[in-house]
Amino acid sequence: MTDIAANIGGVKGAMALALEGAGRQADEARLVAVSKTRSVSEIQAAIDAGQRIFGENRVQEAAAKWPALKAANPGVELHLIGGLQTNKTRQALELFDVIQTLDRPRLARAIRKELDRGGKDGSVPRLFIQVNTGEEAQKGGVAPGALADLLELCRDDLGLEIQGLMCLPPAGAEAAPHFALLAELSRKHGLSRLSMGMSADYALACAMGATDVRVGTSIFGVRQPAV
């Protein structure tokens, strides 16, 4: 059986070591527990162990699991870490506190439009722009060369505050160059948060400036393959 509480403790310990080794404070990076494919009872076990921030990659799945979990556990925060279709913008804004995957003008405009409708009871979602650091055709994220224009549209034309950047390096590739590129882009644009690092490389990400690491497998165990 997976000991979710012990695993969370282990990940936090490794994060603290990596942060300390890089001369950063232990609270400079937060742990986003990635709960995609996990049951409500597994998620509740993580909450009972003190975990407060979770990530899901699909709006539909989050809509099935999270309204009840959130009602039962005030203060828990949910991040969208998977691609968002424009037609699910309203639902995503209702469910998620943070959207990490803003990656195109059309989606930015759809978010602005929903906020203007007053859909989300006063609270504005926190937004990250996903950058496709590997420039992979099949992957979400804005190309590094198009980031400046997207940021300008969000900030100047739409009045959307962008907190940080997120990346998902190509599978099998060395992560460090991607983390370095994301950190450089965030410095250049004056952004404060960096979402990078997963089970295989969250410690490296902490050493390279991550403020949000997204960890699933190291907390909940190996996922069943998607059907």
Ligand X SMILES: *Cc1c(COP(=O)(O)O)cnc(C)c1O
**Residues found near ligand X in the complex (CB under 6 A):** 34, 36, 57, 81-82, 168, 198-199, 214-218
Cβ atoms within 10 Å of 66's Cβ, excluding its own: 20
Residue 20 Cβ vs ligand X, minimum distance, rounded to whole Å? 22
Give the C-alpha separation, 69 to 46, whole Å: 12
CA atoms within 13 A on the CB side of 159: 5
Which is nearer to ligand X, 74 or 225 (by Cβ)?
225
**Which residues, in sequence order, are bridge partners of residue 131?**
142
Please say whether the beta carbons of 52 and 8 come within 8 A.
no
Nearer to ligand X, 68 or 200 (CB): 200
Calpha distance 226→144 (Å, rounded): 30
Return the H-helix or E-strand segment holding 17.
helix 4-21
> Which is nearer to ligand X, 160 or 166 (by Cβ)?
166
Burial of residue 153 (CB within 10 Å: 0-12, 13-18, 19+) is: middle
State the minimum distance, in angstroms, from the CB of residue 8 to ligand X: 13
- Residue 49 CB, shortest distance to ligand X, in Å, is 17
For residues 125 and 216, which CB has a smaller minimum distance to ligand X in the complex? Answer: 216
Which CB atom, from 12 or from 112, has the smaller least distance to ligand X?
12
Q: Residue 117 CB, nearest distance to ligand X (Å)?
A: 28
What are the φ/ψ torsions at residue 173 (nearest 5 degrees)? Answer: -80, 155
For ligand X, the nearest residue by Cβ is 216
Nearest residue (CB) to ligand X, 64 versus 72? 64
Amino acid at 169: P
Measured from the CB of residue 7, what is the shortest distance to ligand X in angstroms? Answer: 11
Q: How do beta strands 126-130 and 98-102 pair?
A: parallel
Minimum distance between the CB of residue 219 and ligand X, rounded to whole angstroms?
A: 8
